[in-house]
Amino acid sequence: MNTGQTILTIVAIVFLGTNVVSVNRTFMQHGIILQQTEIGLFGASLATSLIEEAQGKAFDKNSMDGFLQATSECTPADSLGPEPGEKREDYNDFDDYNNLRDTVRIKNVDTFYRWATVSYVDSTSPNIAAGSKTFCKSLTVYVRGVASQDTVRMSYLFSYWSFR
């Protein structure tokens, strides 16, 4: 092998090494994007499942046995949340989910922290908590994975009404 062939071989090895490193970096970035997407999907699923669970409950503890005639019959805003000693499996109305915090571990994916808030809102401004009781409550659920770069936030409005 002469000098020209040796130089060509060295250039080829350097070029091949550079390409291998570049391809490896691309695969690693692709893997991170896939992982973050999977974590985001699980986070959205966890938020949705909590919202669906709350949807199946009564609007207010005072509406379980009869029809509410006025907002004054609703639970006071500063009392939203579970009754003292009430566990999650015993939740019976929508506002019991206020200040809920739990941790969900999904094997081979991530550990997720989930928390929720419930507040009265005006139906014309559902993103702003109302200062008084209304016939519309908002549940906002947040989910964050340990390895996640973002927090999933989902909201649901529950309005109380009936036909007469």
For the stretch 35-38, contacts whose Cβ atoms lie closer than 8 Å and that sit 24 or more positions apart, written own/partner, are 35/147, 36/148, 36/149, 38/109
pLDDT of residue 28: 66
pLDDT of residue 27: 62
How far is the C-alpha of 112 from the C-alpha of 105, rounded, in Å?
Answer: 6
Instruction: Report residue 10 CA to chain centroid gap.
Output: 53
pLDDT of residue 2: 74
Query: In terms of Cα–Cα distance, which of 51, 57, 64, 41 is closest to 148?
Result: 41
Q: Are 142 and 153 contacting, i.e. CB atoms less than 8 angstroms apart?
A: yes
Strands 136-145 and 110-122: antiparallel
- Locate the domains of the chain by residue range: 3-159
Angle at 56 between CA 50 and CA 60, to 5 degrees: 100
Burial per residue of 55-87, b for 16 or more beta-carbon CB atoms within 10 angstroms, e otherwise: eebbbbbebeeeeeeeeeebbebeebbbeeeee
pLDDT in tens, the chain (164 residues): 677 777 777 777 777 777 767 766 766 666 777 888 888 999 999 999 999 999 999 999 988 888 888 899 999 999 999 999 999 999 999 999 999 999 999 998 899 999 999 999 998 888 888 878 999 999 999 999 998 888 999 999 999 987 66
